[in-house]
Each structure stands twice: as C-alpha cells, then as structure tokens.
C-alpha cells in the first residue's frame, strides 16, 4: 500500500506568506492607493503593506526619490533598481492574515515606470536591459503569487492638481506630460494591450470625491477581499 504524504505548502516555502489571497493596488501617482489600503487595514482578515516611500528617501542618508526627480538621467536606474529590491521584500513579507493587500507590485515598476523612463531617454539601453534581466530572474524564480489587481483609474489632469495640493517636496516639479505618459502605460498594461498581466484586474473609477471612493470600496469589498469578480 502507498502512503500518501501530505503535500508541502509551496507558497509557505517560497515566500513564508500565510495569505490565501494576495491583492495589489495599482494606479498612477496620487490616485489614492494609500487611502484604499488605510480603509481595508481596519479589517481583521486583512494585512496591508504600504509602499516603502520612506525607505527610498533615506538610503543611508541618500534621498533616491529626490535624486531621481532632480537628475533622472543619472539616477533613474539606481532608484528603480532599489524600488525593485524593496518590492521583492514586500512580496516576501510574511502575512499573518488571510488577505495580503499590497500597494503596487514588482510589475508596475517594470511595465509603467521603467518603460516610461527608458522611452523618454532617461535610462540607457544598457541600464534598461540590466533592470529587465533582474526582473525576469525574479519573476521566473519567485512565487510572487498575485491573485487580483485593483486598478484605481484616474485622469492625469486630476492627478496633477492632487499632487500639487499634497505638495510632497520631491514631486513638485512633476510636469503634466509625465503623468499622462504614465497614465497611458498603466492603461496599456492594465486595460489589456500588453498581455503581461499576472492576475485579473478590478477597475475602479477613481475620479471621485473621497466620500464616494469610500462608498465604492464598501460596494466592492467582497471582490477586493475574495476575488469575486
């Protein structure tokens, strides 16, 4: 007689995560990702992982985010390489709750920000290639395990105003065309022309007041937390 051994839980082995459902929140700069994360952090079944912007601002005393905006040709690759590393850390963070809710993912760095920086001549072909090779090695060897992407779809005009209002000092020089180029790349990636999606996408129109956004989050709770699309 054959003894059936219990199947190892490969997800546990690969990323130490107990989450049964992993959701990444995507959307352009200022689209309200942190607001969504804050809302769902109140649920006991959810553990949220905010993007580590603070880490990017202080890499042993170096503000890489500021350097990238001040002199992108010199710093874009260094910054994006570091963001990629911190995103791997986020994906690997053990999660004690059934639902792991992440702000952004490895994928938006690759398909939106880096694509944009390369296309606009801020990254050389060599830098772009090294970044993409790293991305390939990581995604082919690591079970990132994304189950759902929530896309906060927002008009770049509205974002430009919001970014000015929130006045994060590094972002004050962001021109409108930077946001509209990033918007197009989010659209290409998440609305389906590049064919490189790691999971299904729930699209939420985020051109709305804060109060209406909270209503939308409530209406879509079961889709966001259980993937009932």
Site string for ligand DCP, 146-185 (x = CB under 6 A): -------------------------x--------------
Whichever of 155 and 171 has its CB closer to ligand DCP, that residue is: 171
Asked if residue 40 lies in contact with residue 46, where contact means CB atoms within 8 angstroms, the answer is: yes
Q: Is 103 a known active-site residue?
A: yes
Which strand ranges, in their side-by-side order, compose the sheet holding 21-26?
A: 46-49, 99-103, 21-26, 148-153, 201-205
Catalytic residue among 26, 51, 103, 115: 103
Greatest Cα pair distance in the chain = 71
Distance CA 182, CA 25 (A): 16
Distance CA 89, CA 108 (A): 15
Tokens of 223: 């889709």
Residues binding ligand DCP: number (CB under 6 A)? 16
Whichever of 177 and 228 has its CB closer to ligand DCP, that residue is: 177
DSSP state of 62: B
Distance CA 204, CA 197 (A): 17
Q: Does 92 interact with ligand DCP (rule: CB under 6 A)?
A: no
Whichever of 11 and 120 has its CB closer to ligand DCP, that residue is: 120
- Binding part of the chain for ligand DCP, among 13-21, 26-34, 89-97, 136-144 by CB under 6 A, reads 26-34
Distance CA 82, CA 89 (A): 11
Distance CA 29, CA 189 (A): 15
Q: Determine which residue in the list 15, 31, 48, 90 makes contact with ligand DCP, applying CB under 6 A.
A: 31
Rounded to the nearest whole angstrom, what is the least distance from the CB of residue 76 to ligand DCP in the complex? 8
Q: Does 116 interact with ligand DCP (rule: CB under 6 A)?
A: no
Q: Determine the length of the chain.
A: 229
DSSP state of 77: H
Q: Determine which residue in the list 83, 95, 99, 204 makes contact with ligand DCP, applying CB under 6 A.
A: 83
Q: List residues bridging with 150 in a β-sheet.
A: 25, 202
Whichever of 27 and 156 has its CB closer to ligand DCP, that residue is: 27
Rounded to the nearest whole angstrom, what is the least distance from the CB of residue 20 to ligand DCP in the complex? 25
By the criterion CB under 6 A, which residues form the site for ligand DCP? 27, 29-34, 51, 53, 65, 80, 83, 104, 109, 113, 171
Residues classed as catalytic? 103
């Amino acid at each position: 007689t054959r003894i059936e051994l219990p199947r190892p839980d490969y997800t546990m082995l690969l990323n130490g995560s107990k989450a049964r459902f992993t959701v990444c929140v995507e959307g352009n700069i200022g689209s309200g990702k942190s607001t969504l994360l804050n809302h769902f952090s109140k649920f006991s079944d959810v553990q949220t992982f905010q993007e580590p912007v603070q880490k990017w601002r202080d890499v042993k005393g170096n503000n890489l985010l500021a350097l990238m905006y001040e002199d992108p040709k010199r710093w874009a690759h260094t910054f994006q390489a570091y963001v990629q590393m911190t995103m791997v850390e986020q994906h690997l963070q053990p999660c004690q709750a059934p639902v792991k809710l992440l702000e952004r993912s490895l994928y938006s760095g690759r398909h939106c920000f880096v694509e944009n920086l390369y296309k606009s001549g801020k990254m050389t072909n060599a830098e772009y290639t090294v970044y993409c090779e790293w991305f390939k090695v990581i995604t082919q060897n690591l079970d990132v395990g994304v189950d759902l992407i929530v896309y906060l779809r927002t008009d770049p005009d509205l974002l430009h105003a919001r970014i000015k209002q929130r006045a994060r000092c590094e972002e004050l020089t962001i021109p409108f065309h930077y946001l509209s180029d990033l918007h197009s790349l989010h659209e290409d990636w998440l609305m389906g022309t590049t064919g490189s999606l790691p999971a299904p996408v729930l699209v939420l129109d985020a051109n709305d007041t804060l109060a209406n956004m909270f209503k939308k989050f409530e209406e879509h709770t079961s889709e966001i937390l259980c993937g009932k699309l």
